[in-house]
Structure 1
Amino acid sequence: MKVYQLANVEIKCRIMGQGKTIILLHGFGESFANWLSIAEELQTEYRVVIPNISTLYAQKDPLTFTQQVDLLAQWLELVIPPGESFHLVGMSYGGLLSFALRSKSQAPIQSHTLINPMPMEPTKFLKSWRLRQLLYVSRWPGVLNFLRLTPWGKSTFKYLGTVFHMGFRGKKVIHIFNQRKFLIIYKALKRFLWISANEDWSYWKSIKHKDRIYTQLIYSEKDSLFSATQYLKICSQFQEARVKSIKGAGHLVVESHYKEVLMILKNVFLDSENMQTHNIAS
């Protein structure tokens, strides 16, 4: 584990293997552990770097989405060897961060893959009516505390905890729901809402990436958080983007269908590297 200090923020990274660098960004409430199955396969040919980006959105003094992107851009300058390009991959919240990071990175990006990237203004596009209701009443902490004692509230919090894997790594079902688990989910939910409400999303919506970076979108057909329509919208902000869907997969597809994701990523890396070689030759 390597630690990078940026201002008052500490970013811990898991670094595996040698070769061209691949940056893997996890989602909100998740960790580098979500990427391990894929990273262990990639490390035989690449240098895989997985930062724990939870330190960006879990600071005592909250950081806006833009501030998080700026810090990640500074971190990249320390991680990517001078003069080298890298492959950028982000899932869910990390997918949206990768979109923004693309316009800030000083190091050249070889390829960019977004996996179930969180939409801008995410609270407007949640599919689950339970989550939408929970977000609405979350403005009043006392109501949430009461709701967790009701059957509906308890089942909704359990669902939210497993969807975002907030402290419950690898668990599909939360059997025991107590005050500690409620607080973990509540704090994460509160911060998620703060980030969503305090960002100028119109700025990021206006960005059109006109570069020729090899871009791949991967989305899950059975995603419980956002629809395929929302995931596909982000393609309009690229000059060109390839699209792959994974049947039967939920939001955390890098764990549930990691072999399929791994195969797509390997093809992306190989195709983008071949494309660069061809462009240099011509």
Structure 2
Amino acid sequence: MTDANIHPSVILIRDRLRDIFPDVKLPLEVIGWHIRQSTPIETICSNIATEILVYGQAVDPRKSQAEEHTASNVPTTISTPIATTNDDTLQTLYDVFNSIPRDHIDNAYARLKNANNPNWYDDIVNELLSYDGDKSATNKRSTDQMIVDDIFVPDEYNRLFAVLPDLDPDYALQRYMQYLEHSSSKPDLNVLITNLIEHGYVKLTEKLERSRNERLKQNLREPKFEINEFLKTFPNPLEYFYDRTKNVSESYKSHAFIYLANAFARVPIGHIREILSNHN
């Protein structure tokens, strides 16, 4: 499947993240889910990048919401679909694209599912994304969004990224709209590009780094013990922490001594050192 068949917003987000995380898999359906929530592109990139930095992968939001969506979308009457609802993949499409009629999803699923095409699932997701853009996105637009759409020129906007590939998408849109408001009837985009180069601009990596730092600060202020993350570092904690034969660094011994000395202030320091020595 070529990029020509993929929703433009999905391409933009995928390529931005791929430039920063070339080795991380970025499922199109996950990006599509975020787009369907009417979330700004910069926010989507920032959130997914933060997930990759923290968890090593893009988190699938559908997993945490699947039961909630399923409970709210139980049909009152059962028709005979083209494909059975016992198919986990089809049920996932129902859950994620819950605003699209199920017969449309059934039709796309039956028509595009092909074992000989490794990208058949992406083809279905992109078709459903296009349907959502045609049917429901218009109803959700605010007045400001309508104004943006009326005067927005995709080719010129994309040209900004061709010249400044690290430009933050939301900042680019803001500057582009300001530029159109203060320019003549036939504005020259080179003027805006030159201005951005000479005076600086907000880079996507800078926003991602700020978001990451805020996430780290939040974790320091309100630390949360995650057993899954702990087990990734220590798969067998009992064996690791109770192994008295392994070598430990002087720094480890020093930290252990300081902790015990503070925790047991009434115990003689010499006795604490003796216990540490006996237990490695």
TM-score, normalised on structure 1?
0.25
TM-score, normalised to structure 2, is: 0.25
- The higher radius of gyration belongs to 2
Which structure shows the higher strand fraction?
A: 1
